[in-house]
Amino acid sequence: MLRHLAIAAALSALLSACGSPADAPTQAAAEPAKPDVALYALDCGRILVSDADAFADDGSFKGVTREFVDPCYLIRHPSGDLLWDAGIPDALAAQPDGLKTDVYTITVPTTLQAQLQTLGLGFADIEYFSISHSHFDHLGNANALAATATFLVDKEERDHMFRAEARADAQSFSLYNQLETAKTTLIEGDADYDVFGDGSVKLIAAQGHTPGHRVLLADLPESGPVLLTGDLFHLAESRERRTVPSFNTSREETLAAIDKVEALAAATGARVIRQHVPEDFAALPRAPEALR
């Protein structure tokens, strides 16, 4: 896709060169334009939860049934494409009844690959891949990106996903094992990571769900800032109630991460997307349309 951008840039240079000098606007001290960043919401599966008890350690979701969405997000920037989270494996689309575990029914109504195709893209066209965290529902298609994309990953999360215990969970590990040899940029420490070097897309440490959980802040030219909050809030009620799932790696870090992200949302006026909450997903344009 970089090639297409180069062609577009050449065309736009050609068109602006066609205007006579008299047509040129006088160059006042105009604000520099924001980079042309677009956010595409992709449906990467559904998880029907028959009992959401594990999503709050105070028992408040015991017996609650809920459908989670499981989106992936493609962020297109003039310097490259970034896929944020990789959903549930496309292979599950071949099983219309999905996969049933004790409390989950997991389905893939439409593949990530098919949705990328509506944008004229294949997995190999995506330059960067990053994750909120390393649970199976965020890594399902990770191996499809491992050979070509650069994996941007929090060092603590990478250590967590390649620890002995994770390797022993053969089924989950097989979804992302090829990332171990992917071209990788390790994000060390808790500072924000500026993906394109212009402040338009940042990966922000928000640990506690897992040791290296991060959220993504994108500054869109028309819509303004948007926060993709990974698994900081699972249910619609989770944000207001500040619930902490019983399987999080740290309660203390989770509450600190909620405080940090809430402060960031207040300071930037960002739209907060709770990634598993259907209302938040439904309110976004769906690929091939984008939020700009």
CB 137 within 8 A of CB 72: no
Residues in the chain: 292
Q: Output the smallest distance, CB 136 to Zn ion, in A.
A: 8
Q: CB-wise, 176 or 219, nearer to Zn ion?
A: 176
The two tokens of residue 99 are 């996969």
Q: Output the smallest distance, CB 138 to Zn ion, in A.
A: 6
Q: Output the smallest distance, CB 275 to Zn ion, in A.
A: 7
Contact code string over 187-226 relative to Zn ion, x by CB under 5 A:
----------------------------------------
Q: Output the smallest distance, CB 228 to Zn ion, in A.
A: 12
Q: CB-wise, 125 or 237, nearer to Zn ion?
A: 237
Q: Output the smallest distance, CB 231 to Zn ion, in A.
A: 4
Closest by CA to 86, choosing from 161, 120, 137, is: 137
CA distance 198 to 10: 22
Using CB under 5 A as the binding criterion, the count of chain residues that bind Zn ion stands at: 2
Q: CB-wise, 40 or 55, nearer to Zn ion?
A: 55
Q: CB-wise, 38 or 74, nearer to Zn ion?
A: 74
Contacts (CB under 5 A) with Zn ion, residues 225-264: 231
* Per-residue 3-state assignment (H helix, E strand, C coil) for 228-290: ECCCCCCCCCHHHHCCCCCCCCCHHHHHHHHHHHHHHHHHHCCEEECCCCHHHHHCCCECCCC
Q: CB-wise, 37 or 205, nearer to Zn ion?
A: 205
Q: CB-wise, 135 or 158, nearer to Zn ion?
A: 135
Contacts (CB under 5 A) with Zn ion, residues 113-152: 137
CA distance 228 to 133: 12
Which residues bind to Zn ion, rule: CB under 5 A? Answer: 137, 231
